[in-house]
Every structure is written in C-alpha cells, then in structure tokens.
Amino acid sequence: MEDSDSDDRLSQLKAFDDTKAGVKGLVDAGVATVPPIFRHPPDPHAASATTTIPVVDLGRADLGLLRAAAETVGFFQVVNRSLLSAVNADGETPLLTAVTSGHNSLASFLMKWCRDLQLSEAILKQDERGYNALHHAIRSGHRELALELIAAEPALSKAVNRKKESPMFMAVMRNYADVLEKLLEVPESAHGGACGWNALHAAVRNGN
C-alpha cells in the first residue's frame, strides 16, 4: 500500500514538472494551500519521545555537563546567566526592558530562562523608580503578560514602587479584574497605593 502511494505521488510530481508551471503557475492559478503532492507523510520510524536539550551556563561552565551533553545528545544550549541579571543605567534587567518596551514575547522568553536557571532575583528586580516587571506590565496594559508573571513568580505581587504603589493597587485602578483575582490568591500580596490609599480605596473610587 505504501509503495502504491509513493508511486502515485511520484507520478503526480512528474506530471506537475512536465507542465513547467512552477510555483508561480500555482500562485497565478489562485492556489492558496500547499498541494498534497508536496507534503511529506510523517516518518513512521521517527522517535515519538521528546529530547531535552542540556543548558550550559557560560558563567559557571561545568565540564561534566559539557561532556555528558556531548556524549548523550550531541549538542547543547549555551546561556550566560550574568547577562540575564545585568542592569542598565535605569536599573533595568533585560526582562524589565522587554516589558517596558512592549516586547511581550521576548519578556516571556527571558522570564522562562530566568526560571530555568533559578534566577529569581532577575525576575524580582525593581528599577530606579521601584517598579518591577509586574508593575510595568499592569501600567502598560499588558494583562496577559501580567497574569503570566504572577504565575511564574508570585513574589512580584509583594513589591511597592517609590510611590508606594503595589501591583494590586495598580490593577484595581485600571479595573483589571482578572489580574486582581490572581493577586488575591497570592498570600501577603501588597495592597498599598499612593497618597496613603490602598486597593480598597481604589475599588471604591472606581465604583467596584
């Protein structure tokens, strides 16, 4: 059966080649999807198990890990943890800069690396104004990223900036009910706000 399917595919490919239409001909004909003859069937011999790629930290290279990666997998990922914790003139780590710049996908990627390398301090870092990644995500309207940050590092909810604003206070001020709900699930989440207000003051002000 497999040989028959293979022969049919080869015949169809030859017929297409004989038309001399090429890819441009397909586009001109209005074809919007890749024709079946160009799709390779799954390899029946492919391994179904996933392989975890070892991570090698340049900041503290482990020769044993390098050797094991070379012997068992044949390749590895390289990362320099010191770069993830480095700060710029504004006291921002790469994660903070990604959040403040609105690069949410990059922020998620950097957060994952920090978690994998157990760099909680890089995730919790506050900038010169006392804002952490969660503060910035909320104030910039990145609700999905805020929820992701809370799930990854709940301790972000405990920080206040130099205005005494907590992530919870900021979430209430912006009527982000989903973010507030997640923050309320974290024990000891800060709830303070500017000018002596707290999250409850903000809720009353907004009519919640």
Handedness of CA 33, 36, 37, 38 (dihedral sign): positive
d(Cα 143, Cα 151) in Å, to the nearest integer? 12
The pLDDT assigned to 198 comes to: 59
Residue 9, φ and ψ in degrees, nearest 5? -65, -45
The pLDDT assigned to 48 comes to: 55
Which domains does the chain carry? 2-38 (no CATH), 86-205 (1.25.40.20)
Tokens (6 digits) for 54: 């070892």
- What pTM value is reported for the model? 0.62
Residue 43, φ and ψ in degrees, nearest 5? -70, 115
Which of 203, 197, 152 lies closest to 177 in space, CA to CA? 203
Helix axes 177-184, 143-152, angle to 10 degrees: 10
The pLDDT assigned to 41 comes to: 63
Per-residue pLDDT of the chain (208 residues; tens, 9 = 90+): 555 666 676 777 677 677 766 666 666 776 666 667 666 666 655 555 555 666 656 556 555 655 565 556 555 565 667 788 888 888 899 999 999 999 999 999 999 989 988 899 999 999 999 999 999 999 999 999 999 999 999 999 999 999 999 999 899 888 899 999 999 999 998 887 766 665 665 555 665 5
Q: Map the chain to HEC letters.
A: CHHHHHHHHHHHHHHHHHHCCHHHHHHHCCCCCCCHHHCCCCCCCCCCCCCCCCEEEHHHCCHHHHHHHHHHCCCCEEECHHHHHCCCCCCCCHHHHHHHCCCHHHHHHHHHHHHHCCCHHHHHCCCCCCCCHHHHHHHCCCHHHHHHHHHHCHHHHHCCCCCCCCHHHHHHHCCCHHHHHHHHCCCCCCCECHHHCEHHHHHHHCCC
